[in-house]
Amino acid sequence: MNLVAVPAFSDNYLWLLHDGRSALVVDPGDAAPVKEALRSLGLDLQGILVTHHHADHVGGVRELLPLLSPGAKVWGPAGESMPVDVEPLGEGDRFELLGQSFDVLDVPGHTAGHIAFVLKHPGDGGAPILFCGDTLFSAGCGRLFEGTPAQMHDSLSKLAALPGETRVCCAHEYTLSNLRFARTVEPQNEAVARHEAWCLARREQSLPTLPSTIAVELQINPFLRCEHADVREAAQRHDPSVTSQPVSVLAGLRQWKNEFR
């Protein structure tokens, strides 16, 4: 299986997974770059996966419908309004696509019905793949537009429990901005400094910083490190109302990040 990050808008990635003949696309907010990728690679579109309802994730779905192979489907969250009919999915669902078995996780927080897709055993024997939309970013997490800190903490904990080698396919190139914040939270975290240097080199070559891995995120992502003393104490220094509870720490970090410049 081949994993391709297709750039769109100013900082989105529309993920394409293909076997050299057939492809699926995740969160196609814009149809044009997907059409170009399919054309240039000579691929048939066998499915569309959608994690949540925001326009930069669903805006191109309707335009891509005529490209779908006969019998192919759009798969999306059961708890959110979609611009087209979808096969509704939620926690515990599993489906087959491109000869691969995908598991579905409910990961609310960014939106109320956000889901994630996990390919645990790619047919090529590679590391597992996570399509997490806007719930988890490299060194960050999504804003809480519709959910609560408790929901986001639960969702992130669920993703953090995936195998360390899992490839994390986030939907935005926010990594360097997130790492600046992570460095502010944990200035002594050497893993953050090393990863920031690597990401800077990647971006200087116009290459994506993604996919990340769960193992890397556990070292650099403050939102996955709410139980660490350094992260908790930093959040409390910034906002003395933050308690020692991880959900309170996450809430404090998220509000801090919202205002961070």
d(CA 116, CA 105): 5
Q: Which one of 27, 30, 56, 106 is the catalytic residue? A: 56
Q: Which one of 54, 114, 153, 195 is the catalytic residue? A: 54
What sign does the CA torsion over 254, 256, 259, 261 have? negative
Interacting residues of 157 by C-beta distance below 8 A, sequence separation 6+: none
To the query of whether residue 110 is one of the catalytic residues in this protein, the response is yes
To the query of whether residue 30 is one of the catalytic residues in this protein, the response is no
Separation of CA 176 from chain center: 15
Q: Which one of 27, 30, 106, 134 is the catalytic residue? A: 134
Backbone phi, psi, residue 114, to 5°: -55, 135
To the query of whether residue 134 is one of the catalytic residues in this protein, the response is yes
Q: Which one of 18, 53, 172, 195 is the catalytic residue? A: 172
Q: Which one of 57, 114, 153, 195 is the catalytic residue? A: 57
To the query of whether residue 228 is one of the catalytic residues in this protein, the response is no
Q: Which one of 110, 114, 153, 195 is the catalytic residue? A: 110
Note whether 34 and 116 are within 8 A (CB): no
d(CA 107, CA 224): 14
Q: Which one of 18, 27, 30, 52 is the catalytic residue? A: 52
To the query of whether residue 52 is one of the catalytic residues in this protein, the response is yes
To the query of whether residue 57 is one of the catalytic residues in this protein, the response is yes
The catalytic residues are 52, 54, 56-57, 110, 134, 172
